[in-house]
Structure 1
């Protein structure tokens, strides 16, 4: 009887391990329309697209929402299998496993009030006394990294919505976002498109990846790369995103979720 119990326990343990191994724990941060806050009723384009990739991989997905800096920390400490939407930096290359190819390429932008005398990225780069709000722990383009202006990190969630609002209200001279799509979407649905000027930085094209922890990459990275290639033959993420956003309700990310904690600007 004891022998049978040991066998049954071993089988159950093996089944539990298999179930765990085939469920990816994927972290994401708020970046509408790619990803909406966790309690939002809005569907998220990047999650919907990754669902297609995950199906091709033959895995289930558990999505978890964190502020960007917390997400990076958890992925580095092997507490997540992957981060859904990350740019590449020298530091992150050492920390994580990147696929051979990105699934999306975007452009970084500066957002300034429409009354600002700043007209181009060169105007901003040549200044030395601007207060520019940026993502805490976020990607910094070459243009931003070489700037002599003061960079003020903004922590927490809903960064595009809050960054635009703070800039329009005169708290900062500019807001930097690594993704122009998120800025354009938020400006349009919040009704602030007429209050801002978006300055694109075309020389700072940014590749976006689904990034794996070093441990999880051993099991999933190659499967992910094969699955992504398959889905991209059907539709690229950029085309998927354009079609997807046409069907989204016109509601600001700041209003589309339950009450969230507002973090203060890091000093």
Structure 2
């Protein structure tokens, strides 16, 4: 009997009906309230959405959590296959392929102290000559530089929290954040929203996409794209649940 089972296993294996799961390496970075990576296992509505609504058959998703500054390097050097919540740009499109359907749409913003004269700002022109903290290698609108705004990049974890310390030390005038929801959430969780406010930059609609290695297989790309198109509204519901906590 054991010999028969061994022969059956070999026959099944080589006949092609026995398949191994492929591994899809998905890069995530800490982006509250969408993704939280500072615990042992990444979590948040972005993770839940990908697990429950972007299901790829015979595929094991392996989460790779890194600081944001590492995300682009990993994608460029093919250390990962997919990254979540990235903004397309001509430079990034040289080595990444982006989903047609965005995962989330937001606006850019600037965190400023409530006792700053910048609270009266109505456009980026009012920030001319000011210094803003920013996450290294993150999306930076060209309009910031056009208006003579100085950007001071910072890498690593807890960038907003560390830049708030710089504001208190009078080393920064504010913090530029590509996604307004990220700044609003962190200020509320830190219980400092009575000390700082979020200035939403006018006319800065920003689409956050799923990014793929340039040479990702077409089947995987199309399956993820179809899932995004079908379930885009569901992500908004998952995010609202997180924001209500």
> If the TM-score is normalised by the length of the shorter chain, which range does it land in?
0.7 to 0.9
Q: Is the 8 A contact 2:104 2:207 kept in 1?
A: yes
Partner of 1:195: 195
Shift in alpha-carbon separation, 1:17–1:154, aligned structure 2, 3 A:
farther
Partner of 2:234: 236
Partner of 2:3: none
Structure richer in strand, relative to its length: 2
Deviations 1:154-187 (A, max 9, x none): 1011223333343244320010000111111110
Shift in alpha-carbon separation, 1:42–1:168, aligned structure 2, 3 A:
farther
C-alpha distance in structure 1 between counterparts of 2:127 and 2:114, whole Å? 18
Q: Is the 8 A contact 1:143 1:204 kept in 2?
A: no
Selected match of 2:244 from 246, 258, 265:
246
C-alpha distance in structure 2 between counterparts of 1:121 and 1:144, whole Å? 14
Scaled by the length of structure 1, the TM-score of the pair is 0.79
C-alpha distance in structure 2 between counterparts of 1:34 and 1:226, whole Å? 21
C-alpha distance in structure 2 between counterparts of 1:215 and 1:130, whole Å? 41
After TM superposition, the structure 1 stretch with the greater mean CA deviation from structure 2, 24-33 or 167-176, is 167-176
Q: Is the 8 A contact 1:33 1:185 kept in 2?
A: yes
Once the 2 structures are TM-superposed, how far is the Cα of residue 84 of structure 1 from its aligned partner? 1.2
C-alpha distance in structure 1 between counterparts of 2:39 and 2:202, whole Å? 34
Once the 2 structures are TM-superposed, how far is the Cα of residue 145 of structure 1 from its aligned partner? 3.8
Q: Is the 8 A contact 2:102 2:228 kept in 1?
A: no
Once the 2 structures are TM-superposed, how far is the Cα of residue 78 of structure 1 from its aligned partner? 1.2
User: Which has the higher Rg, Structure 1 or Structure 2?
Assistant: 2
C-alpha distance in structure 1 between counterparts of 2:134 and 2:17, whole Å? 45
Deviations 1:58-99 (A, max 9, x none): 333111111112111111111101001111112112220011
Task: Give unpaired runs (5+ residues) of structure 1.
Answer: 248-267
Runs (4+) of structure 1 exceeding 3 A deviation are: 14-18, 40-43
Deviations 1:15-70 (A, max 9, x none): 998423xx311001111111112426784111111112332x33331111111121
After TM superposition, the structure 1 stretch with the greater mean CA deviation from structure 2, 64-73 or 30-39, is 30-39
After TM superposition, the structure 1 stretch with the greater mean CA deviation from structure 2, 166-175 or 86-95, is 166-175
Shift in alpha-carbon separation, 1:128–1:244, aligned structure 2, 3 A:
closer
The aligned length equals 236
Partner of 1:117: 117
Partner of 2:35: 35
Shift in alpha-carbon separation, 1:17–1:136, aligned structure 2, 3 A:
farther
Scaled by the length of structure 2, the TM-score of the pair is 0.85
| SS of aligned partner of 1:109 | strand
Shift in alpha-carbon separation, 1:126–1:245, aligned structure 2, 3 A:
closer
Partner of 2:132: 132
C-alpha distance in structure 1 between counterparts of 2:112 and 2:94, whole Å? 34
C-alpha distance in structure 1 between counterparts of 2:17 and 2:195, whole Å? 57
Shift in alpha-carbon separation, 1:188–1:169, aligned structure 2, 3 A:
farther
Q: Is the 8 A contact 1:97 1:217 kept in 2?
A: no
Partner of 1:265: none
Shift in alpha-carbon separation, 1:212–1:71, aligned structure 2, 3 A:
same
C-alpha distance in structure 1 between counterparts of 2:37 and 2:168, whole Å? 23
C-alpha distance in structure 2 between counterparts of 1:126 and 1:152, whole Å? 18
